[in-house]
Amino acid sequence: MPATSVTSPPVTSPPALSSPVTTRAVPGPPTAADLLDFARRTAADQALVDSLPLDPEGRTWVRLDGPGGSEAWLIGWPPGTGTGWHDHAESFGAFATARGSLTEHALAVRLPAGGWKTLELAEDLDRSRRLDAGDGRAFGRDHLHEVLNPSPDAHAISVHAYYPPLPLIRRFSRTGAVLRLEQVERPEDWQ
């Protein structure tokens, strides 16, 4: 597995960008399908994608206005970078690749809500998929994954949306079948 690096969020956040992509009116809160539709349409907006400043060593991101009160991000991935294993608390979401290619490794397991630091995983839980430009995927609550830009020389860019807005992210390390809770991040850590 390639080494991953994650850049800490900037000390001051850039203002949210208003995407020229029209967010269609959705009665009530958005569904995972609504978030996937938004992510795909936004990823297809070349002007917006081209406006993201890219760093040669660390991930960059700007917040977007997502549909129905969702949280959305445009993220730049330098070659060889990734998120590490994490979940999204009780939020569901979607992401789409706008440029380049991303690889998602996921675990088909629902983790206990709390009270643990180390879990031994059963066999056959691993899932992997490649998402090239234009590809996207939605996911439900309790989704545990890592996302990587496997390219040795090209940036990737993607759009992510979550609902409800992320209350926290739990970060994990993984050695074989052992998953260890390493850190809990709150919105003030990345906004």
Predicted local confidence at residue 116, as pLDDT: 87
Question: What's the gap between Cα 71 and its chain centre?
Answer: 11
- Does the reported pTM lie above 0.75? yes
Share of the chain above pLDDT 90, in %: 76
Element (H, E) at 86: strand 85-87
Of 71 and 2, the one with more pLDDT: 71
Asked whether residue 135 carries a pLDDT value surpassing 60, the answer given is: yes
Per-residue CA distances from 160 to 18, 138, 152, 174 (Å): 15, 10, 23, 24
Under the banding of pLDDT at 50, 70 and 90, the label for residue 156 is very high
Helix (H), strand (E) counts: the chain: 2, 12
**What would the DSSP string read from start to end of 136-183?**
EEEE-TT-EEEEE---SS--EEEEEEEESPPS-EEEEEEETTEEEEEE
pLDDT at 10 over 50: no
Across the range 160-185, mean pLDDT stands at 95
User: Percent of the chain at pLDDT above 70?
Assistant: 86
Determine the Cα–Cα distance for residues 180 and 183; give it in Å rounded to an integer.
Answer: 9
Distance CA 96, CA 100 (A): 11
Q: What is the mean pLDDT of the chain?
A: 87
